[in-house]
Amino acid sequence: MQTEFDVVGAVAAGVSDRAAAWRFVEAFAASWAVPLGVDDGYTDPDLDEAEARMGVRLPTAVREAYQLFGLRSDLTDNQDRLRALEELEVWEASLLLFRDENQGCEAWGIPVEELGQPDPPVEVIEGEHSRWADRFSLACVEMVLFEALWADQNRRYSSAIPAGAIDLVEERFTRLFLPPFPADAPVERARVWFGGHDVIVCVRSAARIDFAARTDEALKRSVALLPAEWAGLP
């Protein structure tokens, strides 16, 4: 692992376009997990075969992501699951599904009419469709952060939080340069991301807070910034 990694700066630099997003994934993996290797993704023939099976062309960003880290389950499958290439499907002729929530409550996909874009938007199915992210590469940045909350090598803390506590979190941590997820949801119903030294913080629906820290010291330092009466503080 690297000894220094500025997650706040790295996210800010990583959301400008898809190439920047892949640089973020590479840097995050090297710091918070294991550096990416040449065998961590699918090959061009693998991707061509998937396209032939489904009868659609995969967007450039999807091909790049699966080539770069599509076989790295430690970055993509700790809680929810990036589908293996052979599991990609066009669902009801409307969405190319690529990711599933761990209990099957949600699924993420790309609208079929947007597949011609190099870096298309992503929708989430949770009863109804809603816009998750304006770009697939942006959804991948958020996916890697979210899956790090459950990675075995990280220290994790999760707790319910009082209503309105997002304001306190925002005072004591730095808001990451990411939109809320889903993109069209109000903040109180979305995932909102923050960061600090060796820690990432996710406020989910303004009702639950999740930390992942690279070290015990970082976890203790972070939760010490929160009110002691919050349930479950270590």
Q: Say which residue the tokens 């938007």 belong to.
A: 121
Interval 31-58: pLDDT, tens:
999 999 999 999 999 999 999 999 999 9
Q: What value does the mean pLDDT take over residues 122-139?
A: 93
Three-state DSSP state, 168: helix
Higher pLDDT, 188 or 6: 6
Q: Which residue in the block uniquely carries the two structure tokens 């209990």?
A: 103
Evaluate if residue 2 carries a pLDDT over 80: no
CA 80/CA 177 separation, integer angstroms? 23
Extents of the domains making up the chain: 7-145, 153-223
pLDDT per position as a tens digit, 174-188? 999 999 999 988 777
- The CATH number that domain 153-223 falls under is 3.30.310
Question: Is the omega angle on the peptide bond into residue 182 within 30 degrees of 0, that is, cis?
Answer: yes
Distance of alpha carbon 20 from alpha carbon 175, whole angstroms? 19
pTM, to two decimals: 0.94
Sequence-ordered strand ranges (E) for 64-215:
81-82, 89-91, 95-100, 107-111, 122-126, 128-133, 155-160, 174-175, 191-196, 199-204, 208-213
**Strands 128-133, 174-175: pairing kind:** unpaired
What is Dmax (Cα atoms) for the chain?
56
Q: Assign domain 7-145 one CATH number from 3.10.310.10, 3.50.50.60, 3.30.70.1520, 3.40.1580.10.
A: 3.40.1580.10
pLDDT digits (tens, 9 = 90+) for 192-228: 999 999 999 999 877 788 889 998 899 888 888 877 5
User: Which single residue is written with the structure tokens 């450039």?
Assistant: 60
Q: Say if residue 3's pLDDT is above 70.
A: no
Question: What pLDDT, on a 0 to 100 scale, did the predictor assign at position 161?
Answer: 76
Give me the residue label for tokens 């309105």.
164
AA identity, residue 140: C
d(CA 85, CA 90): 12
